[in-house]
Amino acid sequence: MEDKRIHINNEGLLSLLNQGMEIVDYGKELSRRRALFIYVLIFNHGYRHIVSNWLCNTAHFTKILCAYVSVGNYDAPVDFASYPFDAIMLFRAYLATAFAESSVKVVMIEADATWFRDPKHLFASEFSNEAVDIVAPRNGGISRGTIRAMSPMVIKPSNRTARFLKGLTRRLERLFDLSDQAVYNILCLSRYLGLRCGMFYYEDIADGVW
């Protein structure tokens, strides 16, 4: 595993977001080196070895270069829907927006997943699918109209995608009572900016239930 530590001097959420471009710049470097797309995860340090064994040290996932980027002061356990949790989700939305603006193909994934085979070709086919802009799974635990889940999320970089994600980010800045998943579903349902929100077949990627 390649270990590039980027320690962000966090004096609040604004400082965290302002310095996120260092991570995006490193992602651009990885994207150029791999010439396909990159996976982006945000997870607690305690999950690092789990993620390494699940994604980086598995024979099924070939030719994967894993890079660890450390974000300072946001590594302690946090409760769901707490301010630190919401800040991390906002940071994820900021990174997704910045990657889209930088023309980097990204698959945003979360650590609590089980992949039974390498999904690289499945994700690659969505990047070449001209009918969609962002693709995510169907939410198995549907509640409050959140039909779509957030991981894995294929984000095809374009001006429209960047503007959509920027709109999502601005809403999260104002509406801390709503999760990023809830806002994403609202915007997709309203066809915000004409963005085409696709969904994976449940047989390929399942979220929430088995």
3-state secondary structure the chain: CEECCCCCCCCCHHHHHHCCHHHHHHHHHHHHHHCCCEEECCCCHHHHHHHHHHHHCCCCCCCCCCEECCCCCCCCCCCCCCHHHHHHHHHHHHHHHHHHHCCCCEEECCCCCCCCCCCHHHHHHHHCCCCCCEEECEECCCCCCCCECCCCEEECCCHHHHHHHHHHHHHHHHCCCCCHHHHHHHHHHCCHHHCCEEECCCCCCCECCC
Q: What angle do CA 75, 97, 131 make, to 5 degrees?
A: 125
Confidence of residue 62 (pLDDT cuts 50, 70, 90): low
Domains defined for the chain, CATH in brackets: 5-204 (3.90.550)
CA 119 to chain centre: 16
Least confident of 13-27, 28-42, 143-157: 13-27
Mean pLDDT in residue range 21-48: 81
Mean pLDDT in residue range 27-55: 79
The answer to whether residue 18 scores a pLDDT higher than 80 is no
Give the pLDDT of residue 9. 40
- 21 vs 198, higher pLDDT: 198
The burial of 154, by beta-carbon neighbours within 10 Å (0-12 exposed, 13-18 middle, 19 or more buried), is given as: buried
Q: How far apart are CA 180 and CA 198, in angstroms?
A: 17
Confidence of residue 3 (pLDDT cuts 50, 70, 90): very low
User: Are the C-beta atoms of 100 and 158 separated by less than 8 Å?
Assistant: yes
The answer to whether residue 130 scores a pLDDT higher than 90 is yes
Least confident of 41-45, 51-55, 150-154: 51-55
Mean pLDDT in residue range 107-118: 81
Confidence of residue 196 (pLDDT cuts 50, 70, 90): very high
Q: How far apart are CA 204 and CA 210, in angstroms?
A: 12
The answer to whether residue 180 scores a pLDDT higher than 60 is yes
Identity of the highest mean pLDDT range in 26-30, 37-41, 124-128, 141-145? 124-128
Q: How far apart are CA 160 and CA 156, in angstroms?
A: 10
The answer to whether residue 188 scores a pLDDT higher than 90 is yes
Give the pLDDT of residue 119. 87
